[in-house]
Amino acid sequence: MAQILTRQFGLLEFEASAVVEFPAGLPGFEDQTRFVLVERPAVAPVVFLQSLGLPQLCFLAVPIAEVDPAYNLAMTPEDLRQLGLDDQRQPPQGDELVCLALLSAAEDGPLTANLLAPVVINLRARLAVQAVRMDSRYSHLHPLPPPKAACS
């Protein structure tokens, strides 16, 4: 089992088969191409996208369907090719294709989700891209509703 010492998780163990490759990196982090998804039940459905090249780099993400169940994925032919998919048609989201919205928070603002540029992962090929949309249908600062109160 592989290991990396991270700022967020301390010593993180992961299977080599869990590594996700971003052929072009992420915008602003083009040199970071290898990540692992970390799930923690206490914060589900939030997941962590932990860089294996920069141990201090970790993104918060959530399945896009949690933010907008009717989200319409639209990827460029280049993004589709980078995922090893047919570049002539939009793929369905499902068991083999995961679509995540990266989360961000301003110091004094609400938690927001980036629906304009979701992270799309082809689980079968272990390839991923941040698929920046060519339209403005969605925002990169989509506000999230406040967390639901736990039932007592």
pLDDT digits (tens, 9 = 90+) for 32-85: 999 999 999 999 999 999 999 999 999 999 999 999 999 999 999 999 999 999
pTM score over 0.85: yes
| pLDDT for res 31 | 97
3-class SS of residue 45: coil
What are the two backbone dihedrals, phi and then psi, of residue 66, each rounded to the nearest 5 degrees?
A: -70, -25
Between 95 and 58, the higher pLDDT residue: 58
Output the CA torsion sign for 141, 143, 144, 149: positive
Give the E-state strand segments of the chain in sequence order. 2-6, 10-14, 19-21, 34-39, 47-51, 58-63, 97-105, 111-122, 127-130, 142-143
The arithmetic mean of pLDDT across residues 121-148, rounded, is 90
